């Protein structure tokens, strides 16, 4: 029995070593083994897993936020039941009380320091905050972009990020590549629900911590695809793509479509008020419907890098920018690449020998602008987007002036944001 398939591949991008304290960096051979699913059609960058980059502890510059409250950051890990009953380790970053005590968080086997000295399990600050969901890249992990997730928490947001189990550094599975395009949005929906409906075992302060009607979404690479899918851009499938339900690749797809129905799919969540996809994938391949994008009402502030060869801006971000009819921006890092949106560079001195050279090469690519400049730019503009659409701060609209020149660090074009 054969059925049509949503995605003909698990989009896998370059990189390794994106993990939490319990994660082990993948070797180069492990990353390559993530590969293309049997019978699948590929896209640029297939056969690799997502990388990360460090911001040298900068965590983003607080310039332009002098009048906004900046909080200490707390972090906890809970479990979410995701698509297909998978148990997803889920991290939550949040504004914390001043003067709290706790262990300083570490990421990726303890090798990546917390940019903002986030404290594990510290009590949350008083108040109710907007929620942002983050989706990691293919072969990445929930903590792959702590330069951004901690920055947002410090500026008054709760950020939830699940491991897309079966698609992380440690457990990436060829056979789950196709079905992961369906599971990922369902995972994010479950993670949002998890924060909004704490259990009796959760810290008491988690109850009522977030606004249930103020949710933003961001994610990197395959996580950028996930972000766009959550806005309601319809998911189509490549022409002629098929899957055999009797194969290890086809079985989970067929089991899932029995529950959610046949293509096309719409995973739009009405709670998502703004999307910030980072180096997103699968628009160029028309897995994400162009016709659907042309009708989208959700504001989208996308980011890309001009040296990204895996999800090139010319094939992904620029066509999407042209198609979106509403409030839209495209920030392009000048000199950056696909790896500019996550943390990894600090691993270059301690990584296993088989990947140390690769990490050094990836990090060298962002010498101009520096990683600190790149990450500050990403964090500041992501924050501005969320402040506009989740906090109603229209003063931040000026940051998205069309044809803006970011002093050689970035360029920005926009439509319908500044008024």
Please report which confidence band the pLDDT of residue 87 belongs to, taking 50, 70 and 90 as the band edges: very high
Cα three-residue angle 354-336-17, rounded to 5 degrees: 30
Q: Are 178 and 40 in contact (CB under 8 A)?
A: yes
Residue 116 has pLDDT above 50, yes or no: yes
* Residue 348 vs residues 162, 305, 356: alpha-carbon distances, Å: 26, 22, 6
Helix (H, G, I), strand (E, B) or coil at 329: strand
Please report which confidence band the pLDDT of residue 63 belongs to, taking 50, 70 and 90 as the band edges: very low
Residue listed under structure tokens 């972000």 = 227
Please report which confidence band the pLDDT of residue 174 belongs to, taking 50, 70 and 90 as the band edges: confident
Per-position b or e across 181-200, b if 16+ CB within 10 A of its CB:
bbbbbbbbbbbbebbbebee
37 versus 415: which is more confidently predicted?
415
Residue listed under structure tokens 């050689």 = 408
What pLDDT does residue 219 have? 98
In this structure, the number of other CB atoms found within 10 A of the CB of residue 84 comes to 17
Q: Which of 47-56, 302-311, 353-362, 366-375 is the least confident region?
A: 47-56
Over range 262-286, report the average pLDDT: 96
What pLDDT does residue 344 have? 73
Over range 105-129, report the average pLDDT: 92
CATH number at residue 11: 3.40.50.1820
Q: What is the distance between the terminal CA atoms of the chain, rounded to a whole angstrom?
A: 54
Residue 291 has pLDDT above 70, yes or no: yes
User: How do residues 350-405 score in pLDDT, each as one tens digit?
Assistant: 666 766 777 776 666 556 788 889 999 999 999 999 999 999 999 999 999 999 99
15 versus 294: which is more confidently predicted?
294
Residue 179 has pLDDT above 50, yes or no: yes
407 versus 58: which is more confidently predicted?
407
pTM: 0.86
Q: What are phi and psi of 201, to 5 degrees?
A: -85, -10
Q: How would you class 116 by CB atoms within 10 Å of its CB: exposed for 0-12, middle for 13-18, buried for 19 or more?
A: buried
What pLDDT does residue 243 have? 80
Domain that residue 111 falls in: 2-415
* Residue 393 vs residues 376, 384, 397: alpha-carbon distances, Å: 20, 8, 8
Q: What are the residues whose beta carbons fall under 8 Å from the beta carbon of 187, sequence distance 6 or more?
A: 80, 82, 83, 86, 88, 135, 162, 164
What pLDDT does residue 110 have? 80
Over range 117-141, report the average pLDDT: 96
Residue 259 has pLDDT above 50, yes or no: yes
How many domains, the chain? Answer: 1
Q: Are 344 and 366 in contact (CB under 8 A)?
A: no
335 versus 376: which is more confidently predicted?
376
Q: How is residue 70 written in tokens?
A: 């900046």
Please report which confidence band the pLDDT of residue 336 belongs to, taking 50, 70 and 90 as the band edges: confident
What pLDDT does residue 68 have? 79
Residue 240 has pLDDT above 90, yes or no: no
Q: Residue 131: enclosing H or E segment and its boundaries?
A: strand 129-135
Over range 282-297, report the average pLDDT: 95
213 versus 354: which is more confidently predicted?
213
């Amino acid at each position: 029995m054969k059925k049509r398939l949503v995605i003909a591949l698990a989009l896998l991008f370059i990189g390794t070593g994106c993990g939490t304290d319990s994660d082990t960096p993948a070797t180069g051979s492990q990353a390559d083994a993530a590969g293309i699913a049997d019978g699948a059609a590929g896209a640029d960058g297939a056969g690799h897993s997502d990388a990360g980059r460090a911001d040298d502890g900068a965590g983003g510059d607080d310039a332009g936020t002098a009048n906004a409250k900046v909080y200490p950051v707390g972090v906890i890990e809970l479990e979410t039941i995701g698509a297909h009953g998978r148990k997803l380790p889920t991290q939550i970053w949040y504004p914390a009380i001043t003067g709290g005590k706790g262990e300083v968080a570490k990421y990726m086997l303890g090798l990546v320091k917390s940019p903002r000295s986030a404290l594990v399990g510290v009590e949350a600050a008083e108040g109710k905050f907007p929620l942002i969901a983050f989706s990691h890249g293919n072969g990445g992990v929930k903590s792959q972009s702590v330069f951004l997730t901690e920055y947002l928490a410090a500026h008054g947001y709760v950020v939830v990020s699940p491991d897309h189990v079966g698609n992380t550094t440690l457990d990436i599975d060829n056979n789950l590549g196709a079905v992961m395009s369906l599971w990922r949005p369902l995972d994010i929906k479950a993670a949002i629900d998890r924060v909004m409906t704490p259990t009796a075992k959760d810290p008491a302060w988690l109850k009522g911590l977030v606004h249930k009607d103020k949710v933003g979404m961001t994610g990197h690479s395959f996580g950028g695809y996930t972000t766009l899918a959550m806005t309601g851009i319809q998911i189509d499938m490549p022409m002629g793509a098929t899957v055999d339900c009797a194969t290890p690749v086809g079985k989970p797809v067929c089991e899932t479509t029995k529950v959610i129905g046949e293509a096309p799919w719409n995973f739009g969540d009405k709670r998502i008020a703004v999307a910030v996809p980072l180096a997103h994938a699968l628009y160029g391949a028309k897995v994400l419907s162009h016709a659907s994008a042309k009708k989208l009402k959700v504001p989208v502030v996308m980011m890309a890098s001009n040296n990204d060869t895996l999800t090139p801006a010319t094939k992904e971000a620029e066509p999407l920018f042209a198609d979106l009819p509403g409030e839209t921006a495209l920030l392009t890092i000048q000199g950056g690449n696909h790896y500019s949106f996550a943390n990894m560079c600090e691993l270059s001195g301690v990584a296993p020998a088989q990947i140390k050279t690769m990490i050094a090469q990836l990090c060298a690519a962002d010498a101009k602008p520096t990683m600190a400049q790149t990450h500050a730019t990403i964090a500041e503009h992501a924050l501005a987007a969320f402040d506009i659409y989740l906090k109603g701060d229209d003063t931040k609209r000026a940051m998205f002036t069309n044809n803006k020149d970011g002093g050689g660090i970035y360029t920005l074009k926009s439509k319908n944001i500044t008024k």
